[in-house]
Amino acid sequence: MGASAAFHLARKGITDVVLVERERFLGTGSTGRNAGGFRHQFSTEANIRLSIESIKFMEEFQERVGYEIDFHQDGYLFLLSTASAFDSFQKNVELQRSFGIPVELLMPEEIRRLAPGIQTEGLIAGTFCPKDGIGDPNGVTQGFGRAAVSMGVHIQRETEVTGIYAGGGHIEGVATTKGDISTRVVVNAAGPHARDVGLLAGVDIPVLPYRRHIFITEPLRDAPCGAGARTGANPRGPIASEFGITSRLMVIDFETTFYFHREGAGILFGMSDPDEPSSYNTSVSWEFLESVTQVASRRLPVLMDLGIAHAWAGLYEMTPDAMPIIGPVGSLEGFFQLNGFSGHGFQHSPAAGRVLADMIAGGAAGDLNLAPFAFERFRKNSGAGEANVV
């Protein structure tokens, strides 16, 4: 988010910008720990519009930013097993189609043809959009950052913000471990740490961190090359044709939030834990893996024959309504928020950074209704939240 905002500000000719990064490299926090998915399949018009703009931007990333990214539009497939989810997604599909998004409603037999490795027992239907897919969070972040620097933006790495100066109801500067920065505008793009940064300015930002796990299996075998022939790194594991998905199709079992897609020669998968409290814990819970495999055994049995090659945990930055906060804090002039994306930050970063840059520059946000993203919505307790959260 910070890199996108800096890039879009620089594109507008505002280059007196410092991007403060606590770590040695950009994108080593939540950005570097997510599954890289992007999709149009949201339940709110505001998020759908962010997706349309952002995905279009990533399709043209090299032409617009000057850097190539890894980008695969192999689709998202949501699996629906309850009547309430089916009814909700039917309405979502109508909304998404009203914006020209090619979303399909699939019956179980169609799901089996699309992804033969999936067990469809208990499924009512699914939704599929071929324009959704898997992208490159690190590449997008580095591309935005490098392009911003080439236009005059300064990135201050290995620097922690320790205070925010305010007086007379407006921002005056920022204190860091490498000295003070005088500024009338601060953008809080600290992801899961957004609340901590907000408190430095005396503002309580309703963003809490929640741990999410990602596991990657050992490689699947290649298909046999001849009678009795076997190739690949794991001769005892299942072959790719048994898995039935050779693309990077993202599959999400909506009721359980279990998801997976091909990642290299293996399978990347994960699932949320609704009982886990908020924390900054990013250690891997191997006990939780047992819960995931219980679900996986019913929906993707091939996972039971594969070992785990890699695992890590990152942090979602959740708001009460699972919608992001984009824009100013009315009580403190110059303090802008760009956080709370509730697991959708990477994919919405191009549009969100552009919107915030427009706000700072005093311009319009196009035809995007900003009310669902406003900080003040929490005081008014208004607006519909995002239902399609994984």
pLDDT of residue 98: 98
Helix (H) or strand (E) holding 299: helix 286-299
- Residues 69-133+210-318: name the CATH superfamily: D-Amino Acid Oxidase, subunit A, domain 2 (3.30.9.10)
Q: In this structure, which amino acid lies at residue 51?
A: S
SS3 content of the chain, % helix, strand, coil (to 5): 35, 25, 45
Closest CA relative to residue 360, chosen from 3, 1, 8: 8
Region of residue 257 (left: phi > 0; alpha: psi -120 to 50; beta: else): left
pLDDT of residue 228: 38
What residues in the chain have per-residue pLDDT under 70?
Answer: 30, 32, 221-246, 365-366, 382-383
Q: What CA–CA distance (Å, rounded) separates 168 from 170?
A: 6
Token pair for 179: 């000295």
pLDDT of residue 35: 79
**Average pLDDT across the chain, whole number:** 91
The model's pLDDT over 186-243, given as tens digits with 9 standing for 90+, comes to 999 999 999 999 999 999 999 999 999 999 999 986 544 443 333 344 444 445 555 5
pLDDT of residue 241: 55
> What are the backbone dihedrals phi and psi of residue 347, each rounded to the nearest 5 degrees, phi first?
-70, -25
Burial 65-87 (b: 16+ CB within 10 A, else e): beeebebbbbbbbbbbbeeebbe
The model's pLDDT over 77-104, given as tens digits with 9 standing for 90+, comes to 999 999 999 999 999 999 999 999 999 9
CATH architecture of 2-36+138-207+340-380: 3-Layer(bba) Sandwich (3.50)
pLDDT of residue 245: 56
Q: What CA–CA distance (Å, rounded) separates 173 from 369?
A: 30
pLDDT of residue 49: 97
Please count the other Cβ atoms lying within 10 Å of the Cβ belonging to residue 358. Answer: 18
Task: Delimit the domains of the chain by residue range.
Answer: 2-36+138-207+340-380, 69-133+210-318
pLDDT of residue 383: 65
